[in-house]
């Protein structure tokens, strides 16, 4: 029997479904390898509630090594930096190579802060979560001291930015020991270049603005950050904002090494896919999650789509290894979005509908915990 080699690169949301599927139903004659930088995969949907103090970090992590053991999958902790399609192998950062018959990429995206001077040196970049989480905890430890930092600036007006600035306020306010929390010494600013929740319906935007105002968070619309210094953030307008720590959740970009693969990419550098989740260039290379775009059905870079792609990707990889035909996957156009507001309330929106309340956070908490229980079950 000829052994086929399925190589999974990255431990993103879609690939955990692939590991689960092959654990439940192994495919004879197929050796599977997962290559990922980190053995614990963070679930991005729970990050704001970790910042707010509602979850411990380990509650937000999926144990990829354990999933691999269950599926009989070889686990390699390392980084891939290239694909040689002639020799059908991937190159690792340590200089080694790994052959593949079928390849799947779910490596996520990286912060795009090239036009923001000082961001790498002085900001807390939300991704990767593995470096953000300990830096955030260290900041909290400093902030609760009487002489600690007081000015927090969050850059980015999308769902992540709104969630993080409200989560930060909840975490620091809850840490205060003085009796009157209305005398909050912390000052919060949200810099939203394209406005608040630009991809959400108008009512959701109004609800978010109301939550920011209620929490005394300064909102700066229609201006962008161009420089982060040790004690301030400078905006394109020339305005300088006092800042002890800046959290950056602006646009992201595809991994730079995609450029050397010869695979078709979109204008933003993301891998260009068919509706089958195969790359336009190579039938034997699949991709999912934020690192790729289905050309016929583009959707926002949101975790919900990576999760929806997971079972489809698992099925298509199995069928492709068995030389079966693949059906196109058309993602839904309307989807439920839940934006947490820091204090165990949330905004729920779908299409033109939007509403807010504690019930929305309870729903989000139930969805997130169910997802984590599914993949961390002993």
Largest CA distance in the chain: 73
Residue 108 is predicted with a pLDDT of 84
Stretch 134-141: mean pLDDT: 90
CA angle at 98 for the pair 96 and 101, rounded to the nearest 5°? 165
Per the CB < 8 A criterion, the answer to whether 132 and 271 are in contact is no
Structure tokens at 125: 């970049």
Are 100 and 127 contained in the same domain?
no
Are 119 and 240 contained in the same domain?
yes
Total count of domains within the chain = 2
Partnered with residue 349 across adjacent β-strands are 337, 354
Residue 306 is predicted with a pLDDT of 74
Taking the CA atoms of 184, 57, 204 and 158 in sequence, report the sign of the dihedral they define. Answer: positive
Residue 146 is predicted with a pLDDT of 82
In-domain check, residue 289: yes
Per the CB < 8 A criterion, the answer to whether 205 and 196 are in contact is yes
Higher pLDDT, 100 or 128: 100
Residue 177 is predicted with a pLDDT of 60
In-domain check, residue 197: yes
Write out pLDDT tens, residues 238-290.
999 999 999 998 877 888 899 899 999 988 889 999 999 999 999 999 999 88
CA angle at 324 for the pair 318 and 325, rounded to the nearest 5°? 115
Pick from 62-71, 138-147, 350-359, 363-372: least confident: 138-147
Are 304 and 282 contained in the same domain?
yes
Write out pLDDT tens, residues 172-193.
987 666 555 566 789 999 999 8
Are 99 and 118 contained in the same domain?
no
What CATH number did the domain enclosing 68 receive?
3.50.50.60
Rounded Cα gap, residues 330 and 292, in angstroms? 15
| β 61-63/252-253 pair status | unpaired
Are 17 and 134 contained in the same domain?
no
Partnered with residue 108 across adjacent β-strands are none
In-domain check, residue 157: yes
Q: If you search the block for the tokens 């989480």, which residue do you land on? A: 133
Are 189 and 238 contained in the same domain?
yes
Are 22 and 51 contained in the same domain?
yes
Per the CB < 8 A criterion, the answer to whether 171 and 140 are in contact is yes
Q: Is the pLDDT of residue 230 over 60?
A: yes
Q: Which domain holds residue 25?
A: 4-109+254-321
Q: Measured in Å, how far apart are the chain's first and last C-alpha atoms?
A: 33
């Amino acid at each position: 029997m000829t052994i086929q080699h399925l190589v999974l690169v990255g431990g993103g949301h879609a690939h955990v479904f692939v590991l689960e599927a092959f654990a439940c139903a192994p495919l004879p004659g197929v050796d599977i390898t997962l290559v990922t930088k980190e053995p614990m995969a963070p679930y991005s949907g729970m990050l704001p509630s970790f910042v707010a103090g509602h979850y411990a970090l380990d509650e937000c992590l999926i144990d990829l090594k354990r999933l691999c053991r269950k599926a009989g999958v070889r686990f390699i902790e390392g980084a891939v930096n290239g694909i040689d399609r002639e020799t059908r192998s991937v190159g690792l950062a340590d200089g080694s190579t790994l052959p593949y018959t079928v390849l799947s990429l779910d490596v996520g995206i990286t912060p795009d802060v090239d036009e923001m001077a000082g961001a790498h040196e002085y900001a807390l970049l939300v991704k990767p979560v593995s470096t953000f989480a300990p830096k955030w905890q260290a900041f909290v430890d400093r902030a609760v001291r009487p002489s600690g930092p007081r000015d927090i600036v969050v850059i980015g007006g999308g769902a992540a930015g709104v969630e993080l600035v409200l989560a930060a306020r909840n975490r620091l306010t809850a840490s205060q020991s003085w009796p009157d929390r209305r005398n909050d010494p912390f000052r919060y600013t949200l810099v939203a270049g394209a406005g608040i929740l630009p991809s959400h319906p108008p009512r959701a935007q109004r609800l978010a603005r109301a939550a920011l105002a209620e929490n005394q968070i300064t909102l700066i619309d229609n201006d962008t950050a161009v420089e982060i210094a040790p004690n301030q953030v400078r905006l394109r307008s020339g305005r300088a904002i006092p800042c002890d720590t800046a959290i950056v959740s602006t646009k992201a970009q595809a991994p730079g090494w995609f450029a050397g693969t010869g695979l078709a990419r979109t204008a933003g550098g993301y891998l260009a896919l068919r509706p089958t989740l195969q790359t336009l260039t190579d039938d034997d290379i699949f991709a999912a999650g934020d690192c790729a775009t289905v050309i016929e059905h583009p959707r926002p870079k949101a975790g919900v789509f990576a999760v929806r792609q997971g079972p489809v990707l698992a099925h298509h990889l199995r069928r492709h290894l068995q030389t079966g035909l693949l059906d196109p996957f058309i993602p839904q156009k309307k989807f439920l979005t839940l934006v947490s507001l820091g204090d165990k309330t949330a905004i729920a929106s779908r299409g033109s509908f939007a509403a807010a309340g504690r019930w929305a956070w309870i729903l989000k908490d139930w969805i997130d915990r169910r997802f984590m229980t599914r993949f961390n079950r002993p």
